[in-house]
């Protein structure tokens, strides 16, 4: 860093994203991408005629995309904000709803970005330990006076909180915002989106990076009361009004409209997840109950760091977090059946030479 | 706004972007877009094969794009950061280099986003009045102890500051960052990019939204010393690491590599600008000397607000700022020759019925 860095920026805690190798020689099971290409409707929407219009700005209100999202969830466009990935929307939410004396609470083991964004805005962050079995106890958050952020399903565990638990948090203190990050909800968890009409203090964020096969398009959105969405727009227009580009607006709307393709992809991931859990358990792994497009697993014979390194040496990328409580685990994205079979074979080989 | 809004977010001063009508019935001369489509190389780069890869994340380091930018300017990739438009990079810079007791200074009449971003981070902003003729006096900034932000050419005036003036600012206080926003530099102003090697405290931002015909792709970049760029990355990885999407990474690199097309577009805009200035002056307008792809002009017969409204009623969008000192002016983007001829005709008609 330079001598010009402000003390505020010095306090930042930058997030380390999973490796994104520039070549494609790895089986990539480390950043929870979909193994499927985008919907054919997305490919159709990205026409040459649209590319020729890139000299014009995108619609800063993201109206057509917000309308497609709203239709899908039976809400109004005033209940939707779209952004450059859900990471951006989460950052807007941290700025909009937190500040001095009004921090954020989240789990000790959860998406690392909450920590980074709290630090970016100089917020007090309360890290609430998950139970020994990595489940989240909503009781721990009941009386927290700031914003509560819950990833549901959680990452990297894949485990869920019940909607009734979220409801308790929302009702306990109607003056407090509860953010439910549903990046992985489409792979088998129960969504809180139906609660948006009921609770003014609920914000649900989702992403098109996982279940909609658009990680490279950078499209996320949030659903909430008209007032919460207006607050987020206030921050967005102070930061970067044109945050979603023209082609991503089109891709996102097309993906949202192709419900059939979406369901077939999610079904396939859930089937392959069941196969993968069984395969790992048969090989001596403990696997946390996952409702996401990844599993969090530990081997009874290979420590997490070693497993990560050996798999990488042999062409398979998984994610390992060198962090207390989870150092023994690796997070494995559910890829295609073929990719998971290759993983199982490689694990067999690694275990056989121990 | 909701009762949940933090006092920090309440202090935000959201930017109002120019109108982006969803239909295309207007001659759009209000947001300084290029009148030309992107380079044919860009269209080629956005292939179906690449669209099919949108299920994979983009490269968060933007390596290929940064390399293309670095090659173009004879710098190293460590001297470049790319972002989701130069607005995003400017926000990163405000966070990286400013903070409590270290504010930002910029002109009273300049790009409205500096104000918005300073408010977003709760910074003290010093608004330094331009001279009566709208020229910027570097003397006014010599002893400012925080970060100096200068749009060169300035918006909405189109007027420039000399590189020797910027040099004086850089040398006067080597502990202070000077940000030169060169969004419009390619239309005839002198760039400070060659100074990047000389001054550790210089950051130059540019955008592909204007001279590279990619407003809808949302691609901006900054050039600076390795240390300044590392600071900006620290903020980027605390906010949204994957901020440039896959297709924009490709489009940006392709646009940067097509120097010939770029020069032909910039030349055409400059020729049309000369024609437009003459046409406006012949119609009684005072036009500020512009080195940008727009002109800032006031009629001797039609106040700015009225001109804006009447042009809009008749299908031509220009930008009007309802703000002290510049209320009499309108900012007119240089479009195609045909569009500017249509503008001149419409002005003739409006003046004839006064």
| 8 Å CB contact of A216 and B5 | no
- Of chain A residues 129-158, which have a CB less than 8 A from chain B? none
**Can you give the pLDDT at residue A305?**
98
Across the beta sheet with A329-333, the strand order is: A285-287, A294-299, A329-333
pLDDT of B78 over the 90 cut: yes
pLDDT digits (tens, 9 = 90+) for B223-259: 999 999 999 999 999 999 999 999 999 999 999 999 9
| 8 Å CB contact of A230 and B36 | no
- Closest residue in B to A45 (Cα) is B51
pLDDT of A22 over the 90 cut: no
State the nearest Cα–Cα gap between B351 and chain A, in angstroms: 30
**Can you give the pLDDT at residue B21?**
82
Gap between the Cα atoms of B151 and B164, Å rounded: 15
Judged by average pLDDT, the poorest of A18-32, A208-222, A337-351 is A18-32
pLDDT band at A120 (very low <50, low <70, confident <90, very high): very high
- Closest residue in B to A16 (Cα) is B237
Gap between the Cα atoms of B326 and A70, Å rounded: 40
- Closest residue in A to B88 (Cα) is A240
pLDDT band at B1 (very low <50, low <70, confident <90, very high): confident
Q: Does A336 touch chain B (CB under 8 A)?
A: no
Q: Out of B96, B225, B236, name the one closest to residue A5 (CB).
A: B96
pLDDT band at A186 (very low <50, low <70, confident <90, very high): very high
Write out the E strands in chain B: 27-28, 80-83, 104-107, 125-128, 147-151, 178-181, 202-207, 220-224, 285-287, 294-299, 316-317, 329-333
Q: Out of B234, B240, B245, name the one closest to residue A87 (CB).
A: B240
The per-residue DSSP string of A104-143 comes to EEEESSS-THHHHHHHHTT--EEEEPPPTTS---GGGGTT
DSSP state of B77: G
| 8 Å CB contact of B100 and A8 | yes
* Alpha carbon of residue A104 to chain centroid: 18
The chain-wide mean pLDDT, for chain B, equals 97
pLDDT band at A1 (very low <50, low <70, confident <90, very high): confident
- Closest residue in A to B33 (Cα) is A56
| 8 Å CB contact of B100 and A215 | no
Q: Out of B9, B56, B201, name the one closest to residue A95 (CB).
A: B9
* Partners of B104 in the β-ladder: B125, B147
State the nearest Cα–Cα gap between A163 and chain B, in angstroms: 22
Write the CB contacts of B175 (distance below 8 Å, at least 6 apart in sequence): A3, A4, B201
**Can you give the pLDDT at residue A230?**
97
Gap between the Cα atoms of B347 and B25, Å rounded: 18
Q: Does B49 touch chain A (CB under 8 A)?
A: no
Region A62-66: what's the mean pLDDT? 97
Q: Does B286 touch chain A (CB under 8 A)?
A: no
Q: Which helix (H) or strand (E) holds A317?
A: strand A316-317
Q: Out of B12, B22, B233, name the one closest to residue A63 (CB).
A: B22
Gap between the Cα atoms of B179 and B225, Å rounded: 12
pLDDT digits (tens, 9 = 90+) for B275-304: 999 999 999 999 999 999 999 999 999 999
pLDDT digits (tens, 9 = 90+) for B88-130: 999 999 999 999 999 999 999 999 999 999 999 999 999 999 9
Which class for B293: exposed (0-12), middle (13-18), buried (19 or more C-beta within 10 A)? buried
| 8 Å CB contact of B9 and A239 | no
Judged by average pLDDT, the poorest of A259-263, A345-349, B238-242, B281-285 is B238-242
Q: Are A126 and A154 in contact (CB under 8 A)?
A: no
Closest CA to A319 of A19, A35, A30: A30
**CA-only gyration radius of chain A, Å:** 20
The chain-wide mean pLDDT, for chain A, equals 97
**Can you give the pLDDT at residue B317?**
97
List the Cα angle B227/B228/B230 in 5-degree steps. 65
3-class SS letters over B38-64: CCHHHHHHCCHHHHHHHHCCCCCCCHH
Q: Does B47 touch chain A (CB under 8 A)?
A: no
**Can you give the pLDDT at residue B26?**
93
pLDDT of B25 over the 90 cut: no
| 8 Å CB contact of B9 and A177 | no
Q: Does A213 touch chain B (CB under 8 A)?
A: yes
Closest CA to A54 of B185, B40, B15, B90: B40
State the nearest Cα–Cα gap between A310 and chain B, in angstroms: 23
Compare A1 and A58 and report the one with higher pLDDT.
A58
Q: Out of A17, A237, A242, name the one closest to residue B218 (CB).
A: A242
Question: In chain A, which residues have their Cβ closer than 8 Å to the Cβ of B64?
Answer: 22
Q: Does A162 touch chain B (CB under 8 A)?
A: no
* Alpha helix (H) residue ranges in chain A: 7-10, 40-45, 48-52, 63-73, 86-97, 113-120, 163-172, 226-239, 246-257, 259-282, 304-313, 337-352
pLDDT of A304 over the 90 cut: yes
* Partners of A181 in the β-ladder: A151, A205
Q: Are B347 and B306 in contact (CB under 8 A)?
A: no
> How many beta-carbon pairs below 8 A join chains A and B?
311
* Partners of A149 in the β-ladder: A179
* Partners of B299 in the β-ladder: B285
Q: Out of A43, A54, A231, name the one closest to residue B213 (CB).
A: A54
State the nearest Cα–Cα gap between A266 and chain B, in angstroms: 14
Question: In chain B, which residues have their Cβ closer than 8 Å to the Cβ of A233?
Answer: 14
| 8 Å CB contact of B98 and A6 | yes
Q: Does A54 touch chain B (CB under 8 A)?
A: yes
| Percentage of the residues of chain B whose pLDDT score is greater than 70 | 100
Write out the E strands in B218-351: 220-224, 285-287, 294-299, 316-317, 329-333
pLDDT of B19 over the 90 cut: no
Q: Out of B15, B54, B64, name the one closest to residue A241 (CB).
A: B15
pLDDT of A114 over the 90 cut: yes
Closest CA to B85 of B252, B326, B254, B285: B252
pLDDT band at B18 (very low <50, low <70, confident <90, very high): confident
* Partners of A329 in the β-ladder: A298
Q: Does B275 touch chain A (CB under 8 A)?
A: no
Judged by average pLDDT, the poorest of A10-19, A74-83, A274-283, B328-337 is A10-19
The label of the residue with tokens 């949202």 reads A256
The pairing of strands A80-83 and A220-224 is antiparallel
């Amino acid at each position: 860093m330079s001598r010009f860095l402000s003390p505020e920026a010095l306090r930042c805690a930058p997030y380390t994203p999973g490796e994104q190798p520039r070549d494609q020689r790895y089986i990539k099971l480390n950043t929870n991408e979909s193994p499927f290409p985008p919907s054919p409707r997305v490919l159709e929407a990205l026409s040459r005629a649209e590319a020729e219009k890139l000299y014009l700005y995108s619609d800063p209100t993201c109206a057509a995309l917000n309308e497609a999202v709203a239709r899908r969830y039976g809400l109004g466009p005033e209940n939707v904000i779209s952004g450059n990935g859900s990471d951006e929307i989460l950052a807007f939410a941290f700025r909009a709803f937190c500040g001095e004396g009004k921090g954020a609470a989240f789990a000790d083991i959860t998406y690392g970005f909450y920590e980074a964004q709290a630090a970016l805005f100089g917020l007090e962050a309360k890290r609430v330990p998950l139970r020994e079995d990595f489940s989240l106890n909503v009781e721990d958050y009941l009386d927290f006076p700031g914003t509560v952020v819950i990833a549901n399903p959680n990452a990297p565990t894949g485990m869920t909180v019940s909607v009734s638990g979220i409801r308790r948090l929302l009702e306990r203190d109607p003056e407090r915002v509860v953010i439910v990050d549903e990046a992985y909800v489409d792979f088998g968890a129960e969504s809180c989106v139906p609660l948006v009409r009921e609770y003014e203090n609920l914000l649900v964020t989702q992403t098109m990076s996982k279940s909609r096969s658009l990680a490279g398009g950078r499209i996320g959105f949030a659903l909430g009361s008209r007032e919460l969405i207006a607050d987020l727009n206030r921050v967005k227009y102070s930061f970067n009004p044109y945050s979603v580009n023209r082609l991503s607006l089109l891709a996102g709307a097309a993906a949202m409209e192709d419900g059939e393709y979406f369901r077939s992809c999610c079904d396939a991931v859930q089937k392959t997840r069941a196969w993968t859990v069984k395969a790992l358990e048969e090989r001596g792994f403990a696997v946390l109950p996952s409702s996401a497009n990844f599993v969090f697993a530990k081997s009874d014979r290979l420590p997490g760091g070693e497993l990560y390194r050996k798999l990488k040496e042999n062409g398979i990328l998984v994610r390992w977090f060198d962090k207390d409580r989870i150092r023994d685990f690796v997070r494995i994205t559910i890829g295609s059946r073929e990719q998971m079979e290759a993983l199982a074979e490689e694990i067999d080989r690694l275990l056989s030479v121990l």
